[in-house]
Structure 1
Amino acid sequence: MAQHGVFFCIRAALPRLLETRGNIVNVSSVSGIGGDWNMSAYNAAKGAVTNLTRSLAMELGSKAVRVNAVNPSLTFTEMTGGLKDDAALMAKFAERIPLGRGAEPAEVADVIAFLASDDARFVTSVNLPVDGGLSASNGQPRVT
């Protein structure tokens, strides 16, 4: 499962991170903050990454290691490949995402780079939605 890979990667890197006072930026998902229809296993795995981020931030803060995560929504990658070609599905996403579209990988990468940089040197335990405003909604349909 995804959370196992994140855990084992952090465990392997931790000695060097402690030595260099480095930082960790996990990649979770908006699905780790709230639920999705018919995706309970994925939601549980991403929820584990989200809470691992919080817990490790508390444990490692006194050792000067920051731990944050990004929580993207729909991002167009090789894994989501054909979704972009499904006009009806993209219309449903556009209706739910205030910016009206999914993210390009570079848009998520830029936020990761910020969290890893010295510009974020006093930021830890953050699970930052990179979701075009999706998480602003309470789930009710758009009423005009």
Structure 2
Amino acid sequence: MLSLQNKKAVITGAGSGIGRAMAVLFAKQGAEVIIIDLNDEQADETAAEITSNGGQASVFKCDVANHQAVLSVFEQISQLDILVNNAGIAHIGKADNTAEADFDKVMSVIVKGAYNCTYAAIPKLKANGGGVILNISSVAALVGITERFAYSTAKGAIRAMTMSVAKDYLGDNIRCNAISPARVHTPFVDGFLKKNYPDSIDEMFDKLSKAQPIGRMGQPDEVATLALYLCSNEAAFITGADYPIDGGFTSLI
């Protein structure tokens, strides 16, 4: 079960965190993984981890917000079965203190990036007889999170994009779903705490952990396991769905 043998999967933002966990797990299950990331050093580390365990991986350094650059990358991919739109950035701020440049950057990476990759992937998925698109959204698309105006807006667009793509390509055997994690313990969280709360890292880590009713943050591997299921043949009856993986955040608070 959950085999991705003979599948080719593109995962954006797979240099670290959730993206890396997905790339490693997908490769373990037999997929050839294509990593698209702006940070080629981190992407190379992910690829090295995969190949050292006998898997297949390749790396393309690319800014997913750049339409032509994305098209150029996808032109070099001969077969495509799975696209995971994971690349993203965060921003802290309310509507009245989010600078235009910051808003544009978040929207460009998260929303335009997912559009660019989806635009480039669909013809290849059609030629392949179908496939899977998985978007990494967020609980920020489902409930209000304080001081995450631009990020919440972008992830809300990702959720809507998921439903639109799922409906438009039913006849092409292309499934499209989303995952909406709550806070997941990634290097981003550690960097955020170190930068903003250098004198109270442990206290703030505990506070952020307890924001989830289950009492802790998620782990990248847990999100990766759900992603694996949704991209596998076992999930063939699932499309147009958004799965919270949030320790009860959206339903128990």
Superposition TM-score, scaled by structure 2 size:
0.52
Alignment of 1:133-144 (within 5 A): 133-138=248-253
Taking only aligned residues, the RMSD between alpha carbons, in angstroms, comes to 1.7
Query: Equivalent residue of 2:205, what SS?
Result: helix
1:120 is matched with 235
1:99 is matched with 214
Q: Which has the larger radius of gyration?
A: 2
Tell me which stretches of 4 or more aligned residues in structure 1 moved more than 2 Å. 82-96
Question: Which residue identity lines up with residue 103 of structure 1 in the other structure?
Answer: G
Match of 1:18 among 108, 119, 126: 126
The answer to whether the 8 Å contact 1:90/1:101 transfers is no
> What are the ranges of 5 or more consecutive residues in structure 2 without an aligned counterpart?
1-106, 195-199
- 1:94 Cα deviation after fit: 3.8
Residue 5 (1) aligns with residue 113 (2):
yes
What per-residue deviation string (whole Å, max 9, x for no partner) do you get for residues 108-141 of structure 1? 0110000000110010011101111111134xxx
Between structures 1 and 2, the one with greater helix share:
1
What per-residue deviation string (whole Å, max 9, x for no partner) do you get for residues 88-118 of structure 1? 3333334332221111111101100000001
- 1:14 Cα deviation after fit: 0.7
Q: Which has the higher contact order (CA 8 A, sep 6+)?
A: 1
Query: Equivalent residue of 1:125, what SS?
Result: coil
What per-residue deviation string (whole Å, max 9, x for no partner) do you get for residues 20-76 of structure 1? 210101101111111211111110000000110011111111211000011011111
Superposition TM-score, scaled by structure 1 size:
0.88
